[in-house]
Amino acid sequence: MRLATAANAAYTATLAVTELLGCKQCSGGGGGTGEELGIRIPRPLGHGPSRFIPEKEILQVGNEDAQMHTLFADSFAALGRLDNITLVMVFHPQYLESFLKTQHYLLQMDGPLPLHYRHYIGIMAAARHQCSYLVNLHVNDFLHVGGDPKWLNGLENAPQKLQNLGELNKVLAHRPWLITKEHIEQLLKAEEHSWSLAELVHAVVLLTHYHSLASFTFGCGISPEIHCDGGHTFRPPSVSNYCICDITNGNHSMEEMHVAGSVSITDSFCEVEALMEKMKQLQECRDEEEASQEEMASRFEIEKRESMFVFSSDDEEVAPARDVSRHFEDTSYGYKDFSRHGMHVPTFRVQDYCWEDHGYSLVNRLYPDVGQLIDEKFHIAYNLTYNTMAMHKDVDTSMLRRAIWNYIHCMFGIRYDDYDYGEINQLLDRSFKVYIKTVVCTPEKATKRMYDSFWRQFKHSEKVHVNLLLIEARMQAELLYALRAITRYMT
């Protein structure tokens, strides 16, 4: 209770000081402006916490209600900052609360791994997707908890134990279906620098958490904080009414010009109506007849094959920057569809190994309480609904949410025997599939054009919800493959 109260006070005080300083500088009070004193004042480069979402549609810090204020204070207490990921996730407070609780436990509470190892593993995981935003945040956190600065010169300078984790990080991030019990054995039975089972489970959860968080960062166009690389400029403002107190929110003085595409509002409205009609028809078909198991299996294979041919027209390699790529090995290794080039990867049947019956208990046994926290986060993201679709209210969106979740697992070769994969093509159009596959598999290639091109009449809060589904489905898929391999090693 004291911690929460202290955090609340610290967070409120930080806001007040920042705003006070800013307004004095704007008004010319308080002993002169920074420029007059010869101080270079940084100004934000971006337009709020996200490059994809107009800042006027994001909750402004200082305007939050009591519940949001408590969430912001909790985030401030856990991280020592109020980052842009939090400011975008706050569209969905119930999820944000669960996310912050889980991340705080993984990084700061009692666990098998020392604190500096946890942040370094976060750096390794985020770097695999060239996510400099997360890398920079955790470089600061790593140093703050006493990490050796030499490790940051490159993975080869880190302890051999962490270097040994590089292979698992690589495969888990890009092709988790290739993980075998041999990967696990190599880490647990190394002659020197071996991992314990508990340490490895902690590391696996951290890796999957940060691979997925990189997807959210790119999928929502998260902007760097003002104090990070790419988050500020020292050039003077372009208009006279710029207020330095906007730095609190990472805001820019000018309204972001949200340029709509060539598609009219009427066309977008028709898309929503058509989607709702398809949902209605599919529900009626479900009620009338049920496909055989053979037909269901066939539809899964068709959807799995089709997912290999979903790619963006501007799909090209993104060369990793040296400041990020030094944190991992084999920079040429990336996502490849699991059945390409004659490879045959057996279908992962959820009926044989699932999170609820197998993964959850394994994690909770080796890293107590974390299984419960992750399970809660999965359920909140999957079941979250406000019963709305764009301008429509009182809508049952469960069919749509399940199609998104199961499409992601299908891309990873994971099959649910009781799901009709024919529904996916009915509910998810090509532009949406391109966005999903990019954000989940190669998030560093996500663009604002992709974000804008799907669900054009839907609210930004609904698109952020889509991203929550994407990152949790992705995290669960990675965990299933890694935990199954650990289970096979143990048996």
Active-site annotation, residues: 131
- Give the residue carrying structure tokens 């300078």: 157
219 touches 467 (CB < 8 A) = yes
Could you give the 3-state DSSP secondary structure of residue 392? strand
Q: Where are the alpha helices (DSSP H) in 148-264?
A: 160-164, 166-174, 181-188, 197-219
Contact 398, 385 (CB under 8 A): yes
Contact assessment for residue 429 and residue 367, using Cβ atoms and an 8 Å cutoff: no
Find where tokens 């902690």 sit: 202
- Reading the block at residue 327, the tokens are 């944190």
Output the six-digit token pair for 454: 């799907």
Backbone angles phi, psi at 44, to 5 degrees: -65, 140
Residue 232 φ then ψ, to 5°? -150, 165
Nearest-angstrom CA–CA distance, 136 and 139 = 5
Q: Which residues contact 144 (CB under 8 A, 6 or more apart)?
A: 80
Query: What is residue 155's DSSP assignment?
Result: G
For residue 400, the one-letter residue type is: L
Task: Indicate the SS3 state at residue 61.
Answer: coil
As a whole number of angstroms, the distance between CA 321 and CA 361 comes to 39
User: Which is nearest to 41 in space by CA: 245, 209, 178?
Assistant: 245
Long-range contacts of 23-30 (CB under 8 A, 24+ apart): 23/243, 23/244, 23/245, 25/244, 26/242, 26/243, 26/244, 26/245
DSSP state of 25: H
- The SS3 assignment for 388 reads strand
- Nearest 5°: phi and psi at 36? -65, -30
Q: Which of 178, 189, 171 is nearest to 489 (CA)?
A: 189
Residue linked to tokens 């706050």:
90
Task: Please check whether residue 80 is in contact with residue 225, taking contact to mean a CB–CB distance below 8 angstroms.
Answer: no
- List, in order, residues 6 or more apart from 129 with CB less than 8 Å away: 173, 211, 214, 215, 218, 442, 443, 444
